[in-house]
Amino acid sequence: MTIAYLIYLAVMLLVTVGVGRSLFKNGRAFLVDAFGDEALADSVNHFLLAGFYLVNLAMVAFALHVGGRAEKLIDVIELLGSKIGSALLVLGVMHLLNLFAFTMWHQIRVHNRAT
């Protein structure tokens, strides 16, 4: 189980940092368009990155306790798959909700500018 936990922590650390950097770098243009203000977009981008890291680390820490014991290699693989998959699913849903919220914000801003 110790090896399974170490694998889980290593994978999730790499995923967290990699995805966080990618979202931070590639999301800036989207946020600038949504807010129409580069300084505000950069500030929100930093807040989103911090929130992403905090939520992901909390999910990883919580998932350490959740689950059963793994006696065989197949049990370890299944346990790792469910833990990693659950964290990725939650983060994916959060990302989609953020995109939806910022898209709505952009549409409201464009509508208000037109009227």
Compute the mean pLDDT over every residue in the chain, rounded to the nearest whole number: 86
What residues have CB less than 8 Å from 4, skipping those under 6 apart?
A: 70, 76, 79, 80
The pair of structure tokens assigned to 92 is 């994916």
Query: Taking 90 as the threshold, does the pLDDT of residue 21 lie above it?
Result: yes
The whole-number pLDDT of residue 86 equals 86
Query: Which domain range does residue 103 map to?
Result: 2-114
Extract long-range pairs of 44-51: CB within 8 Å, 24+ residues apart: 48/23, 48/24, 48/98, 49/20, 49/23, 49/24
C-alpha to C-alpha distance for 83 and 59, rounded to whole angstroms: 9
What is this structure's pTM?
Answer: 0.75
Based on the structure, what is the number of domains in the chain? 1
| pLDDT tens-place string over residues 25-47 | 998 998 888 888 899 999 999 99
The whole-number pLDDT of residue 103 equals 85
Which residue's structure tokens are 């999730």?
12
